[in-house]
Amino acid sequence: IFTSGASLKDEMVDELEEALLSADVGVRMAMEFCDRVREDIKQKRVKDSGDIQQALRAYLSTCFNGAAKNGFPHTSEKPHVVLFVGVNGAGKTTTIGKIASQLAAENKNIVLAAGDTFRAAAAEQLEIWSQRTNAKLIRGEAGVDPASVIFNALSHAKESGVDYVLADTAGRLHTKSELMDELQKIRRVAGKACEGAPHDVWLVVDATMGQNALQQAKEFHDALGLTGVVLTKLDGTARGGIVVSIAHTLKLPILFVGVGEQADDLRPFVPENFVESLFA
């Protein structure tokens, strides 16, 4: 009878730990936070079971404090250049389409750079998005050096008073060093074409990804210096908990979430709502 209160709280922590693990929150991180709550319970810092979830929520929310940036960067640079990177199939090209659509609605002048010169019909896919959003597309022949497409797109954007350049790149696994080198070259060439470019480098992460996403983010961050993350496919059942570790470890802002395949399926990332969804 005396221990039943304690074991009920322990059970609650166990259940919440399982919820976090099922949401793809980093394994060590989920266990560490739950151990902290178990300690809080022992030290009577957590009084009743209602406080348990609140304590965990608070720990998780601190992971998003490292970078306060949110929403689209409103910028004085012209053009403001955003480079989109990430592993194969994460949703980079579609995300560019969605952002172009948002910026077009704000009457911004946009250029899309078809920096994926490798994958079959990659430029054609981006071309359809440029038609849907009235953005200008700069592309090259299949197989040309992607850096040259980026260079052309930025040169054109500078001359034509364009507000934003959204640059697509081919999907790549972070384990392929020659492909990571290619991205670094794209980055350097962007800076040559337009001083300060790329002003933003955003990693596109698929919400269905598991623990490997943290390693991906680290490698892309080491190679390029990421400035933000977009989390896609949150309209499915996966909860994308890996961004907790990404935000916490790399101090990167999670800027947007993708919630579908159409142009307006993009929302700003709201940490409170996101943390709540992990317990669902």
Contacts for 86 with CB less than 8 Å, ≥ 6 apart: 92, 171, 203, 204, 205, 216, 220
258 binds, among Mg ion, ligand GTP, other proteins, none (CB under 5 to 8 A by kind): ligand GTP
Contacts for 229 with CB less than 8 Å, ≥ 6 apart: 202, 203, 204, 205, 217, 243, 246, 247, 252, 253, 254, 255
Q: Token match 């034509």: residue?
A: 160
Residue nearer to ligand GTP on the CB measure, 88 or 215: 88
Going from the C-alpha of 251 to that of each of 65, 95, 115, 241, 243, the distances in angstroms are 8, 22, 27, 15, 11
Distance separating alpha carbons of residues 278 and 276, to the nearest angstrom: 5
In this structure, are strands 228-232 and 136-138 parallel, antiparallel, or unpaired?
unpaired
Residue nearer to other proteins on the CB measure, 38 or 78: 38
Q: Which of 33, 60, 84, 93 binds Mg ion (CB under 5 A)?
A: 93
Distance separating alpha carbons of residues 101 and 129, to the nearest angstrom: 9
Closest among 41, 33, 3 to 16, alpha carbons compared = 33
Compose the 117-146 pattern: x for residues touching other proteins by CB under 8 A, - for all others. -xxxx--xx-xxx-----------------
Q: Which of 16, 23, 150, 194 binds other proteins (CB under 8 A)?
A: 23
Residue nearer to other proteins on the CB measure, 186 or 238: 238
Contacts for 100 with CB less than 8 Å, ≥ 6 apart: 110, 112, 129, 130, 133, 135, 166
Which residues in the 242-271 window bind ligand GTP by CB under 6 A?
258-261, 265
Which residues in the 76-105 window bind other proteins by CB under 8 A?
87-91, 97
88 makes contact with ligand GTP (CB under 6 A): yes
Count of CB atoms situated within 10 Å of the CB of 28: 10
Q: Which of 139, 174, 233, 239 binds ligand GTP (CB under 6 A)?
A: 233
68 binds, among ligand GTP, other proteins, Mg ion, none (CB under 5 to 8 A by kind): none
Q: Which of 5, 66, 71, 89 binds ligand GTP (CB under 6 A)?
A: 89
Q: What is the token pair recorded at 122? A: 């990659």
The residues that touch Mg ion, with contacts defined as CB under 5 A, are: 92-93
- Site residues, ligand GTP (CB under 6 A): 86, 88-94, 116, 119, 122, 170-171, 173, 204, 232-233, 235-236, 258-261, 265
Interacting residue ranges for other proteins, rule: CB under 8 A: 18, 21-24, 27-28, 31, 87-91, 97, 118-121, 124-125, 127-129, 173-175, 206, 208-213, 215-216, 233, 235-239, 241-242, 261
